[in-house]
Structure 1
């Protein structure tokens, strides 16, 4: 049986070709060109949800990158929610669709992620495909809302690891690899659980400390 990678472009090729449509590298204005998120989403093909979520997750997965993650977090949530609802093609409301991103910035992020994505591609194979279609994909979309929601929070440690988890799950959707989807979801969900747990512990400890100080 041939794998998906035998019949479809690899994720890295798919990303590069897709962004090349908007600003070819040889164009003098490529670095300055911006596109709206609506234009980005409208140009996606039948692999729209996986590719769209991956494009939006990649900037969030880069450590110490600020600005772009805050722009793409809400659209990522919107795509995950629509995947959970079973929509065939993603759509963004005007308030999110009008947001602009620099094509040059996205290309830079893709280049930085190229080696990591290449390693993931070598490990992928069509398996547990029930998680990448139909009801399984809807459940995946619903679970993606949790790590994607974490990226919205303007606190340390809430962006990078959840972004990595969502990105891995998106590659799994593109390659029809349910095992990779599970790995990505596990990374994102466990990290958010740890943030909530230790955050609650820290708040409780701070509260006890203040009460002790006030009563002394």
Structure 2
């Protein structure tokens, strides 16, 4: 699955009272796909109309932390509390945010392909889950530095794409984003 297909699945999520719930989006993507989940979490953080709302990166960080811990514990299917899954956004706002991603998504899809699989398969997926947990922990302090949470979102998207496309080069790129984000989070704390 490429990023365009993933976004199409998000767009096709059922709407209730003009709103789309996180649980419905997760169900559309599947509760077994850690890669798709990371892409979704990262997109929420980097989307201008959504991720710039104060507290959203921190909430996404909590959700990513919960899922990452479950994967590190060896669970094959992840679980989230109903209070998180019931969170929703207006369908029109979601559509506007997704529309803004069309050009970069098209460009990214041309870049990803299966390669350097040692960085995404087997035990490497546990390392990616641990790095995702680190990214999640960095998100609250990154909110103190304007737009730095976007880097955390970018790291999550890149990790997710690496897993979905089995692209080890993207995993290496995500590790680099994580290190840069760690430096930004440390500067926000100090």
Please give the range of the TM-score, normalised by the shorter of the 2 chains. Answer: 0.7 to 0.9
Q: Work out the CA distance in 2 between the residues paired with 1:60 and 1:176.
A: 23
Q: Work out the CA distance in 2 between the residues paired with 1:70 and 1:102.
A: 20
Q: Work out the CA distance in 2 between the residues paired with 1:65 and 1:116.
A: 18
The answer on 1:76 being equivalent to 2:64 is: yes
Bigger-Rg structure (1/2): 1
SS across alignment from 2:72:
helix
The answer on 1:34 being equivalent to 2:24 is: no
**Which residue, 150, 169, 175 being the options, matches 1:179?**
169
TM, length-normalised to structure 1: 0.72
**Which residue, 132, 141, 144 being the options, matches 1:155?**
144
Number of the residue aligned with 1:21? 13
Higher relative contact order structure (alpha carbons within 8 Å, sequence separation ≥ 6):
2
Gapped regions of structure 2 (runs ≥ 5): none
SS across alignment from 2:89:
strand
TM, length-normalised to structure 2: 0.81
Q: Work out the CA distance in 2 between the residues paired with 1:194 and 1:54.
A: 21
Q: Tell me if the contact between 2:144 and 2:188 (Cα under 8 Å) persists in the aligned partners.
A: no
Q: Work out the CA distance in 2 between the residues paired with 1:106 and 1:76.
A: 20
Gapped regions of structure 1 (runs ≥ 5): 1-8, 24-28, 204-216
Q: Aligned residues, how many?
A: 185
Q: Tell me if the contact between 2:152 and 2:181 (Cα under 8 Å) persists in the aligned partners.
A: yes
Q: Structure 1's 46 and 174: CA in aligned 2 closer, same or farther, altered over 3 A?
A: farther
Q: Tell me if the contact between 1:161 and 1:187 (Cα under 8 Å) persists in the aligned partners.
A: yes
Q: Tell me if the contact between 2:35 and 2:163 (Cα under 8 Å) persists in the aligned partners.
A: yes
Q: Work out the CA distance in 2 between the residues paired with 1:134 and 1:124.
A: 20
Number of the residue aligned with 1:168? 158
